[in-house]
Structures are given as C-alpha cells and as structure tokens.
Amino acid sequence: MESGNKTPISEFCLLGFSEEQELQTLLFGIFLSMYLVTIFGNLLIFLATITDSHLHTPMYFFLSNLSFIDICVSSTTIPKMLVNIQTHSKVITYAGCLTQMSFFIFYAVLDDFLLVVMAYDRFVAICHPLHYMVIMNPQLCVLLVLGSWTLSALNSFLQISVVLQLSFCSHLEIPHFFCELNQMVLLACSDTFVSYIVIYMTTVLVGVSSLTGILLSYSKIVSSIGSISTAQGKFRAFSTCASHLSVVSLFYCTSLGVYFSSAAAQSTDSNAAASVMYAVVTPMLNPFIYSLRNKDIKRALGNLFGRMY
C-alpha cells in the first residue's frame, strides 16, 4: 500500500505551554517534581504488592499492574517535555512523535481497561464473597490482564495506522506538550474525514464499553451493599471499593475534561491544561488514593522500608 505521506516530514514543533522564558524554569521544576512523585509513589506501590506475600491476591495483582501503567503513561510525555525545556528546543522528530503517540494511546487505553477489570474484581468480592477465590483464580486474573494488553495494543495500532495515511504540509506546530492524536490530525493537509470516523468510533467504543462495564459492576455492588443488614457491614463492604471508585472518578472526570475542552473549540491552552490533569496529575495521585486509607498497603510499605534499611 502506498503511504499517504507524500511530503517527507522530518520533525514537528511542540509549542508547550508558554513562550515566556521566565516561566520555563518554573514549569521545569513543577513537572519534574510531579514526575518524580509519580515514579516514586507508583514504584513503591508496585514493589510493596509484589514483595509482600499477604498482598498476592487478585486485587493487589491488578493494583500492581495499574501502578506500572501509571509510570509508563507519565514516562511517555513528561521526559521529552523536560528535555525540550532544558535545551530550549521544541523539536520532536516525526518518528519520535508517532512513537510517543502510539505508546500514550496504548497505556491510556490499557489504564481504562484495567479499571474495568478491577471493577469486576470488586463486584465478585462483594456480591460473591464465598466464591471469590474460585472465580478470581490466578488463570483468570492473568487472562484478564493479557486481554487488556492485547486490546490496547490493537487499538493503538489502528489509531497510528490512521495517522500514517495522512499527508502533512508546511504548518507543523503542535499546540500541545506532547503529540496528541487530535492535534496531529488537525495538522494534516489531506482529507481527514475517514480518519476522524475511525478515531471517534474507536474512542467511543472503548470509552462507552469500559464505562458501561464499570457502571454495571457498581450497580450490582450498590444493590448488594444495600441488602446488608448492619451499618458496620455496609461500611466494610463499601471501604473495599472506595479507593477504586475514587480512581475511576478521577480518571473519567479528567478524561471527559479533555474531551469537552477539545470539542468546545476553546483555546489550545485550555486543552493542554486539561490534558495535564489526565496525563500527569491522575497517575501522580493514584498511589496516594490507594495507600492513605489502606492498612494492608501501609503495612507492606513499612515492611519494604524495613528491609531496605
């Protein structure tokens, strides 16, 4: 098949957030701090869940995967932005842009699918507690994670294939801090109708199916909690899924913020700021959400630090 890129493209320009030089040092410090907190926090959760035998359960198996994915999501965007700020350069190569975009789409969708899997895990734990270990056996857990990775890879391949068919002309400035899919399509000088159809269909399919799965799980969970006779039992059942529900709320609120800021045709600065919430802030906050009120995680972290020192 003949490539749609008839004009040889070597690089793009990532405009970032501000042209003012005095703000560059501040932005560098802020994003470097957020990146280090994200890496350190998620790495601690990951190490705690895999080194503590008491946390070798389905819930913490999925949590360790979520922590790893959050590290990857942040690592696809922030390091390049930090390098560009430090070197006073806004350039990213065409191959680098496609690579960054493909990995970001892959890990972002994988994050979405894993939240669905974790919602199903909480549904089984609360609605079928006596059969939990039978249903959520190690084989099923691995299959659920592998299925999520496979579907995410297929989605990423499809989205990048669409971009590869586009032709780019002279205006190659991306008003963003990373190579975001919609911004890339906007730069194309070839017909983008089919591209938008494929992109929005896959986005809606992934988003609607994932959100539907989560809502169905939690509707069953709420119904099951409502049938518990004691207030203490209700609180205990709700506390087992409170952290996951908080992460889901944060994930979808920031994702919808990105979608609506883009669809409303507002300034590119508002779109980039909304993307920061989704691509940077959410992965940074997830470890705190799961560790602040989780006694098992706190104990595992204490044991981990005890072995280190």
Task: Confirm whether 2 is domain-assigned.
Answer: no
Categorize the per-residue pLDDT at 264 as very low, low, confident or very high, splitting at 50, 70 and 90. Answer: low
Task: Confirm whether 185 is domain-assigned.
Answer: yes
**pLDDT score for 259:** 64
Task: Confirm whether 108 is domain-assigned.
Answer: yes
Task: Confirm whether 104 is domain-assigned.
Answer: yes
Q: What is the mean pLDDT of the chain?
A: 85
**pLDDT score for 232:** 81
**pLDDT score for 301:** 81
Is the per-residue pLDDT at 22 higher than 80? Answer: no
> By percentage, how much of the chain surpasses pLDDT 70?
90
Least confident of 5-9, 229-233, 241-245: 5-9
**pLDDT score for 15:** 83
Rounded distance, CA 41 to CA 35, Å? 10
As a whole number, mean pLDDT of residues 69-84 equals 93
Domain span including residue 43: 11-308
As a whole number, mean pLDDT of residues 23-47 equals 92
Categorize the per-residue pLDDT at 261 as very low, low, confident or very high, splitting at 50, 70 and 90. Answer: low
- Cα three-residue angle 155-241-223, rounded to 5 degrees: 100
Please, how many CA atoms are within 13 Å of residue 136, restricted to the half-sphere of its CB?
A: 25
Q: pLDDT digit string (tens) for 84-111?
A: 888 888 889 989 999 999 999 999 999 9
Task: Confirm whether 132 is domain-assigned.
Answer: yes
Task: Confirm whether 299 is domain-assigned.
Answer: yes
Rounded distance, CA 227 to CA 75, Å? 44
CATH of the domain at 236: 1.20.1070.10
**pLDDT score for 70:** 94
Categorize the per-residue pLDDT at 220 as very low, low, confident or very high, splitting at 50, 70 and 90. Answer: very high
**pLDDT score for 2:** 42
What is the domain count for the chain?
Answer: 1
**pLDDT score for 116:** 95
Is the per-residue pLDDT at 231 higher than 50? Answer: yes
As a whole number, mean pLDDT of residues 41-64 equals 91
Q: pLDDT digit string (tens) for 156-180?
A: 999 999 998 888 877 688 888 899 8
Determine how many CB atoms are found less than 10 A away from the CB of residue 148: 22
Is the per-residue pLDDT at 308 higher than 80? Answer: no
Task: Confirm whether 3 is domain-assigned.
Answer: no
Q: pLDDT digit string (tens) for 119-161?
A: 999 999 999 989 999 999 999 999 999 999 999 999 999 999 9
Task: Confirm whether 4 is domain-assigned.
Answer: no
